[in-house]
Structure 1
Amino acid sequence: MKTLVVALGGNALLQRGEALTVENQYRNIESAVPALARLARQYRLAIVHGNGPQVGLLALQNLAWKEVAPYPLDVLVAESQGMIGYMLAQRLGREPDMPPVTTVLTRIQVDRNDPAFRSPEKFIGPVYAPERQDELEATYGWQMKRDGKYLRRVVPSPMPKRIEESPAIELLLKEGHVVICSGGGGVPVAQGGEGTEAVIDKDLAAALLAEQINADGLLILTDADAVYENWGTPQQRAIREATPDELAPFAKADGSMGPKVAAVNGYVQRRGKPAWIGSLARIDDTLAGQAGTCIRL
């Protein structure tokens, strides 16, 4: 049986603008579960999920209690891994004929000299009206940037270097478990093991996981049903298949499709195995080449 790493986009957990309630997240997870369960019957499956809205909410809740100093981001990432991993495992485990589902708290090493620490770009937390920028920055000491028509907090997002728990993940996959791991991009730790104030991009973390465990493919699920050329124009066209070189112009660090393209391109170039970008609603069609974008050498 082949091994597949799936990166589950935030839309599978929370729609933009939705309240960050447990009920909303469970409802969105319910819509993702049938497709993931089908994959689990065909592949040794590792699932990586995002945590941008959730870790941002935890940070806000953290600031509301003044009796203790706020917890650092690495601890909040670990909390969000446990929360989301538990919710996914609860729902996946109810599907008929499912293999065992195991959530692994995952640490990922980063370089404390990564330039991302000097130039935060990773969006976390809820969206705000743009006119609140000065208020939010003054109140919380955050850095804020535009995310489309909204405003969101940004934090450092260093490149992932090594997944500490990859031997345990490989062992669980070989024993037939569905493994939920590297959630929210993994808990960022420096070379000496100390936690760092950052949130790693989950697509880059999924690509690194696919490399370290020698997976047979990488599937990144997102809001868009494919990578498009001439997006937003009458000439827009879905790219069904491309090489990393052909897709390289789309790998811009623009907070949307760029990081996903960069992640799959790196994996395909280094491992020579295929990757896909597509929508949750069309997983099967994406893997069959009838939807989404397939990237291969």
Structure 2
Amino acid sequence: MAKTVVVALGGNAIIRSGQAGTHAEQVENARAMAVAVCRMREAGWTVVLVHGNGPQVGNLAIQQEEAAHRVPELPLYWLGAMTEGHLGCLLTLALHDAGHGRLSGVVPIITHTVVDEADPAFSRPTKPIGPFFEEPQARRYATERGWTVGEDAGRGYRRLVASPRPRRFVEIDAVRALVERGMIVVAAGGGGIPVVAEGDGYRGVEAVIDKDLAAQALATALCADALVLVTDVPQVMLDYGTPQARPIVEMSVDEAQRHADEHQFPEGSMGPKIHAAIRFVRGSGRTAVITNAERACASVDVPRGVTPGPQAGTRIVAARGHEGAAS
């Protein structure tokens, strides 16, 4: 029976730092991820792909603000739906191209994610979206547009929105059925469209769901064999930014929790990935990986009890043979 892996890539993987976010740039960036997914497919994995959408939603919001005098502005969760559709299209085409017509099927699903309306995140927006601004410009936007703004990991200021925890997925049965058929599924894009249960249906809410936590929730719901969180570095680092910085090849979930408790992983960068990995491993006893697209396949295909090779990323496992310092 095929193994299932849920792979999460950030919206910044599609619009990279320093890029304008043109159509050509996004198409080219999607190719690298598509190649990595095809490698996993060739290695026998059934892949579910989750993508971020922060830069894309932020750009759409700016377009809306600038054109508000001509067309009505739309709610944030609709912008999430728009980006879920356009990035699903982008990744589907990239996957077919990378697979040279040999893929049995790629299916993007517009996914609604149910959240709790009482989630404290709604009263404390923390999720950064969109481009970076200098502080004076960000403060001006906060005043003129009613945004909440804040510094993002020392890289500049960004708009902050509510980021409630994902509870379940409206379309989970459809995703599961497609996975059982061996399809490559693109789901929960941008964390999914945030909705709350209301009566016999659902109502959209103004929020952006963290795509790493959504990927973890989806992997748990699908009983996936692995969770891969793709970032722009090959391995997680301890003491990052200091002369003592060192990469982590493998750590147990308890080691990961200890390092997180010691504030090794900032919330604005590696923190959400570590927390998602810990939740997945604790809940399933299986493996989570944090690495870049190039090392993703080599990082999941490591037999139990075997030390990962030099081309692997960072693996978080239920337990290691020796619970010493990760290295």
TM-score by length of 2: 0.87
Structural mapping, 1:1-297, within 5 Å: 1-41=2-42, 42-63=44-65, 64-94=67-97, 95-96=99-100, 97-147=102-152, 148-192=154-198, 193-248=202-257, 249-250=259-260, 254-287=267-300, 288=302, 289-290=308-309, 291-297=312-318
More off after superposition, 147-156 vs 212-221: 147-156
Deviation per CA, 1:54-109, whole angstroms, max 9, x where unpaired? 01111111222324542111111111000000000011112222221010000011
Q: In the aligned structure 1, how far is the partner of 2:238 from the partner of 2:283?
A: 25
Contact 2:195 2:203 (8 Å CA) reproduced: yes
Cα offsets for 1:146-180 (capped at 9, x unmatched): 12231111100000000111110011111121000
Gaps of 5+ in 2: 303-307, 319-327
> Any idea what the Cα deviations from partners look like across 1:249-280, whole Å, max 9, x if unmatched?
32756211000000010011011111111111
CA distance in 1, matches of 2:269, 2:143: 27
1:9–1:223: 8 Å Cα contact kept in structure 2? no
Q: Which amino acid counterpart does residue 166 of structure 1 have in structure 2?
A: I
Offset of residue 10 of structure 1: 2.8
- Could you tell me how far apart the structure 1 residues matched to 2:249 and 2:278 are? 15
Match of 2:322 in 1: none
Instruction: Name the % identity.
Output: 40
Query: AA paired with 2:60?
Result: L
* 2:132–2:155 Cα contact (<8 Å) kept: no
Q: Structure 1 CA distance, aligned partners of 2:184 and 2:209? A: 22
Tell me which amino acid in the other structure corresponds to 1:236.
A
Give the 3-state SS of the residue equivalent to 1:108 in structure 2: strand
**Following the alignment from structure 1 to structure 2, what is the Cα–Cα distance between the partners of residues 98 and 209?**
23
Moved over 3 A (4+): none
TM-score (norm 1): 0.96
- Which 5+ residue runs of structure 1 have no aligned equivalent? none
* Residues 11, 56 of structure 2: 8 Å contact kept: no
Q: Distance in 2 between matches of 1:115 and 1:255?
A: 18
Q: CA RMSD in A?
A: 1.5
In 2, the alpha carbon distance for the partners of 1:234 and 1:172 equals 47
